[in-house]
Structure 1
Amino acid sequence: MADKKDVASDPRALWLLRRVCCVFAVRRDKIDKFLQQFWADEQSCRALNTFLQEVEVPVIFFHHTSSGETCTAAVGDLPNLAQMKKKVLACVRTLPEAEIELEPGKRPRVVLVEFSKNMMDVINSYCHSVYLSVLMNPANQKGWSDLISRDLIDKFHSYLASLHVTAGLMRGQTLLPLPPREAVLDSTPGGGGVVASKQGPGPGSSATATSTSKDRVHVLEGAVVTWTKQVRYVLKQEPEHVFKDGKHPEPCAELQFWRSRASNLNSIHAQLQMEGVKRVLRFLEANKSTYVAPFSRKEVEDAREEANDNVRFLKTLEGHINTLLSETADFDELDRIFDIVFHVLLLIWRYSKYYNTLSRISVLIRQICNSLIAQATRFISGSSVFEMIAAGEARLPKTPPYNKQTTLQITTNQKQNNHGTAMLFLVLLATLRGLRVPRDAGEGQGVLVSQCEQHR
């Protein structure tokens, strides 16, 4: 309570909170209510008092509440994802251990920084449109040598490229950073990339132009190397990676993987059609650069076509998969849903241009099995199943407990072939491996074998 009284009477606290109200767009007639609710939160009062009294605390965060009627404050903890969905304001000391002084003629040594969920996009925009222009202005380079100026600008361009890539990754996209604008604009096909020296014709003009052309080739080759690494990273991603670290993903992970991959490759394809990228590649081809060959756009096109085709076919499974994953589904109906899922999967394997190999199908089958296991464990633990199998209790009459009996029936259906589920699973895998399935499994299963062989 002492902290609350102290901070409420501190003019620095009122000064800071009024600026918070301004950033959060609090109406004038709502400011008093905003402040009253803030003072009512002891944790926020304690955090504000800590920031004002302890100069070694560098920053305090103000989080807009979901109701929008007040805010909360915190020191030491960065905003989480839920808080970043609303406005977040940071008050940062401009110098280490700087005091906040409000006397006339003195500036409070703090700055207010607003954060948002698209913070990286905002930083990216500011750096490209504001800071780069300021840095490139010759008036701001007075007293710098050419070496220092060039080195600093090159490093800033590298930072901008990394920032551009990071902003894309946070949105789930692969953004190809363009080289400096001057290098791209000067890479005209007709000019061969050689720009005349400002000194005009003279003994050293040819050497200067050649040096400039080599520098431009070096810059553009660096950009192509970066693009090649980004594209290769995307192309080497495979659905099997979701099983790493002992994870047990379900079919929704497979559907999401191909959606993300298709979206990413479509984005890369669109960027490769941009005039700036084409101009860079044409210039390097004209200069016989060895870095153009590894950057194969055909690989991107092939992978893009496969991803879009797989998304189109796997979309037919989405409704059945959602039913299979539903926690409200009746467990004894899962056997029927399992049949439907594998029938659709068989049709996908038959008609899809790409999703018809064992390496592709096996991933989805493993995930479907994970779903069945997850659903079964909602009714009975895995250890109990094995104990009952060992005790010879796997086949139970339809008597209570019904959930236990149903669970055991599902787990033993693969062996009993009650509804053709296991046979469909067997035929599918056997056909993918090129094996011949025997016809002595029953009338219904024989028809299924014939259908699969006809498809094949």
Structure 2
Amino acid sequence: MSVEDIEDLRLRFVFSYIQLITDVKYDKIKKFLDDSKQAEKLLDFFEQSDLTHLFVVLHPTGVFEIHTKFPEVFKFKAYYFIKKERGVIEKNTDWSTLNTLLSYGDMDKSPLHHFIAFVNTVLSPIILNEKNREDWPESLSEYIKRDLYNLQKKSAMVLARIEGKTHLAHPVGIEKIDTQEPISCHGDDVIGSLMYAIETAVVDWSAQINDILKQQSGQAIANGEFPLPNFEYEFWQQRMNCMQDIYQQLVHPKVKKMAVILEANRSAYANPFKEMFKRVVRAIVESETIVTFLTPLINYLNDLETVQFEELKPKIQPIVHLMALLWVNCEYYRSTDRIVILMTETCNLLIQLCRQYLDPTEIIKEEPDEGLIKINKSLDILRHFRDVVEDYRQNVKESCQEQNVEPAEWTFHSSWVFSRLNAFIERLEAIKASFWVYYHTLLDYSRLEKVEVHGVVGQTLTTRVSMVYDEYQEAYRKFTDTNMDCLSTEDTTFSTALSEFMKLFDHWDNRMSTIIVKAFLMSNTTLGAFKLPKILRSTSKEVHGKPPSSTAFHNMASEKCPFVHPTV
């Protein structure tokens, strides 16, 4: 089946046009027509006289959206059908009549494209039509034409920048350059002369190219961001594409004729034009060379994302080796600034992989043994990368000396590369230390749930123990439920929360010490006195390092049980 099988000529007209300029399959159209609500919405446009606009938005997946008012936002290309006059269009309306009653076309998803199309196809023909300017003073006519040109130029430049390109706007009157004698470009009106327009274009182009060449891949790091090695590769890939695009514009026949005119008229801008062209060529060679040498390293780094982090250690040495080869063999990358940027981005990648492995919001909830194993493996891998880089300093120097290339060695300070990595390692060390402290403490306080004190005041003391346990449980719940990134070196929430949580243990330890001493002193039997330190030995050792009231306990045991505790 095809669009020709649609019985309603109105619907066939709409979808024939859409299918004519797209590759949408008929099964997508049929699926839309089978949806009675959507099809009815489309038919309303034809059958209701007050509806004059129809917009059909086509998704890349082949899904249609129907609007009878201009969509506030549409992310994909749209097709419009507008009634030239209000009224109802009947079902049996023939094809030629539909073509007469409707205006139709397509719209790009970008408002800028709409604006440029309006300027070039509507505004420009009106202004440039001499009949519309018959009564205008010549000076006004020239300045308005120049303003129109500037509007077109700036619009094209903005669009090119959005698309990642650089547009070199041609000077006014370049369309006549093929008929212009190179030596007769000066006019009586300097502002309106082709020579002036060419020289102005050279200045503008040179400024555009200089702005591009001033851009550095390390700017993101300077701005406090944490780019990955792919960012470095994409930067040079974009630089290469941009310079190649500019080169193609500079070798255009009309631009070559501009250079001939500048040279023939001995313009002061002839040499700057040549230098600008040379800078573009050098930039192409530089970027192409860097992309070529970066590709093996980037491919290897991309493969790391498919490897389990705990298995990453054997992959570290090849990474640094590829960096060393890049330094030795690529003259354009043999710069301290650039190798520091690449290593910093590699550190960011390792940190990101480590964060994915540990899970910042879950690591503090891990079981002590499992958490410590993960932390230790992470520390081992990160330190290994740092150590391998330091080891390669000497290897790089020797390789450069063998090939007689300068500069021969990595002279950067370690902190330039490892500042964030070192901070991340310190955070892991802090978490590791906290595992030993608060997890062991948590084990002690978790035992309080089953503690029951007997004796004269046993019930009262048991209640007080339960209160401590309940407070501990609530504090631990709040601490672990806090939405924090404990692996972020930029976020102090974890450090603050851990510090406040640990302060509570001092308060609970003092209360438990009081309870333990009172329970010991109020013991009715020697057997009870013996059992108490054994039951609570973990907590008592945590607080004091030895059982509470050891002197009183020793004296009591000596008096009542000399065969157990002989007097010394």
TM over 0.5: yes
Contact 1:174–1:267 under 8 Å retained in 2: yes
Which secondary structure state, in structure 2, belongs to the residue aligned with residue 62 of structure 1?
Answer: strand
C-alpha change, 1:24 and 1:275, in structure 2 (3 Å) is: closer
Find the aligned partners of 1:67 and 1:413 in 2 and give their Cα distance.
44
The question of 1:156 aligning with 2:144 is answered no
Aligned residues: 382
C-alpha change, 1:412 and 1:91, in structure 2 (3 Å) is: same
Find the aligned partners of 2:254 and 2:28 in 1 and give their Cα distance.
54
Aligned to 1:351, which of 329, 341, 360?
329
Matches within 5 A, 1:5-404: 17=11, 19-25=13-19, 34=29, 37-38=32-33, 40=35, 42=37, 61-65=55-59, 68=62, 71-74=64-67, 75=69, 76-80=71-75, 83-84=76-77, 88-91=78-81, 111-116=103-108, 136=128, 138=130, 142-179=134-171, 180-182=173-175, 184-185=177-178, 187-189=180-182, 191-194=183-186, 209-211=187-189, 215-243=193-221, 246-287=224-265, 289-291=267-269, 295=273, 296-297=275-276, 298-324=278-304, 326=305, 328-382=306-360, 401=370
Which secondary structure state, in structure 2, belongs to the residue aligned with residue 78 of structure 1?
Answer: coil
Which secondary structure state, in structure 1, belongs to the residue aligned with residue 210 of structure 2?
Answer: helix
Find the aligned partners of 2:176 and 2:191 in 1 and give their Cα distance.
10
TM-score (norm 2): 0.55
How far off is 1:183 after superposition? 5.2
How far off is 1:93 after superposition? 8.2
Q: Deviations over 1:35-56 (max 9, x none)?
A: 883583647866986999897x
Which secondary structure state, in structure 1, belongs to the residue aligned with residue 65 of structure 2?
Answer: strand
Find the aligned partners of 1:281 and 1:387 in 2 and give their Cα distance.
70
C-alpha change, 1:350 and 1:383, in structure 2 (3 Å) is: farther
Find the aligned partners of 1:346 and 1:236 in 2 and give their Cα distance.
26
Which secondary structure state, in structure 1, belongs to the residue aligned with residue 147 of structure 2?
Answer: helix
- Name structure 2 gaps, 5 residues minimum: 1-7, 409-568
For the pair shown, the structure with the greater C-alpha radius of gyration is 2
Higher relative contact order (CA 8 A, sep 6+): 1
Which secondary structure state, in structure 2, belongs to the residue aligned with residue 112 of structure 1?
Answer: strand
Q: Deviations over 1:162-216 (max 9, x none)?
A: 3443443344221212123345335532x3314xxxxxxxxxxxxxx53368632
How far off is 1:231 after superposition? 0.9
User: Which residue type is aligned with residue 73 of structure 2?
Assistant: L
Residue 9 of structure 1 is matched in structure 2 by: none
User: Which residue type is aligned with residue 315 of structure 1?
Assistant: T
Which secondary structure state, in structure 2, belongs to the residue aligned with residue 299 of structure 1?
Answer: helix
User: Which residue type is aligned with residue 65 of structure 2?
Assistant: T
User: Which residue type is aligned with residue 387 of structure 2?
Assistant: M
Which secondary structure state, in structure 2, belongs to the residue aligned with residue 79 of structure 1?
Answer: coil
User: Which residue type is aligned with residue 155 of structure 1?
Assistant: D
C-alpha change, 1:61 and 1:237, in structure 2 (3 Å) is: farther
Find the aligned partners of 2:206 and 2:344 in 1 and give their Cα distance.
33
How far off is 1:371 after superposition? 1.2
Find the aligned partners of 2:27 and 2:320 in 1 and give their Cα distance.
63
CA RMSD of aligned residues (A): 4.6
Contact 2:289–2:332 under 8 Å retained in 1: yes
Contact 1:176–1:271 under 8 Å retained in 2: yes
Q: Deviations over 1:262-319 (max 9, x none)?
A: 1111221232222322322343455455555655323323322211111111112132
The question of 1:411 aligning with 2:401 is answered no
Residue 422 of structure 2 is matched in structure 1 by: none
C-alpha change, 1:32 and 1:408, in structure 2 (3 Å) is: closer
Residue 389 of structure 2 is matched in structure 1 by: 425
Find the aligned partners of 2:282 and 2:355 in 1 and give their Cα distance.
41
C-alpha change, 1:41 and 1:317, in structure 2 (3 Å) is: farther
How far off is 1:361 after superposition? 0.9
C-alpha change, 1:169 and 1:15, in structure 2 (3 Å) is: farther
How far off is 1:235 after superposition? 1.0
How far off is 1:413 after superposition? 4.1
Find the aligned partners of 1:171 and 1:309 in 2 and give their Cα distance.
24
How far off is 1:320 after superposition? 0.5
Q: Deviations over 1:117-152 (max 9, x none)?
A: 799889979976998677655456555553454344
Contact 1:321–1:341 under 8 Å retained in 2: yes
Contact 1:93–1:111 under 8 Å retained in 2: yes
How far off is 1:369 after superposition? 1.2
Find the aligned partners of 2:307 and 2:229 in 1 and give their Cα distance.
16
How far off is 1:67 after superposition? 6.2
C-alpha change, 1:282 and 1:427, in structure 2 (3 Å) is: farther
User: Which residue type is aligned with residue 170 of structure 2?
Assistant: L
C-alpha change, 1:156 and 1:345, in structure 2 (3 Å) is: same
User: Which residue type is aligned with residue 181 of structure 2?
Assistant: T
Contact 2:46–2:88 under 8 Å retained in 1: no
